[in-house]
Structure 1
Amino acid sequence: KFLDAFCRKPQDNFAAMRLILPGLDRERGSYGLKEHVLATCLIDALAMSRDSDDARRLLNWRKGGPKTGSNAGNFSLVAAEVLQRRQGMASAGLTIKELNEFLDHLASGENRAEKTSILSDLIRKTNAQEMKWIIMIILKDLKFGN
């Protein structure tokens, strides 16, 4: 029913499925972003000081304790907590097509500065909950039920 409601044409099905199953998407290249590099890009995109508590939480996402919170070990959840404090829950209503275009640009980004700029644009167009899912897509670590 989901695909019937949101995907009227076959190309719409493909656009949705490549987001739902990012590990199987062979059309889009690698993002070149694992957790540590993604953390530094998010820190720069949010114009955070590297010494701030939120920056440390992103960089030390694996470590538990009072500063990292209960989501330690799950980068997308740690990032969502940080983003929620800095970004809020307002959304600009990003479409599947727009998200795929952003992700294509991110995959073709030449350097960290370009990737940071693309992430900054994505952050402006989404809310923290949406960014959590986008981060899981980028990491190709989409877990349902979180």
Structure 2
Amino acid sequence: MADIPGAARAEKSRRKMIGGSRLSEDEVAIKALYAYNKQANDPRIYNRIKDYAGGTLYLVEFVTPPSQEQEYWSVLIRDGEAQVFYDHEMALREAVMWTRRVTSINFGTIVISVISIIIVGAVVYLLWRDGNTESIKPLDYALTSVLGFWFGKSVNKSKS
């Protein structure tokens, strides 16, 4: 179906469960194109772009009757689902939107949150185990820093 070098070797690794049956991603892309445009004649995948917006973008060419005009559409396969784009601008927008979602994750806050949970958990454990505050003296400054950070951050957000 696809005239891409090395497609036969990579075929096993690209098989996914789609709708209860095992189809290759190439087959899923063509099937999705047919579902969206039933007039597509002889669709052919002429390029595959891996790691595009969290999936693989297939560039498909086909002929539409009655004009027999050549058309170029894109199909994005991500997490076993296909999304069809009738022009390349739509596919570019999808990549930009996906990139924005990924870059909006603030990994610094995640790391600080995990460290804070560990410090608070250690303080609670030591208080529960020993029952006195002498055992948490070494963690006083750490706990104060964690509380100061989180309360300072919430005050900063409310001011803006």
TM-score, with length taken from structure 2? 0.21
Q: Larger % of helix: which? A: 1
User: Larger relative CO (CA 8 A, sep 6+): 1 or 2?
Assistant: 1
Q: Larger % of strand: which? A: 2
**Greater radius of gyration (CA):** 2
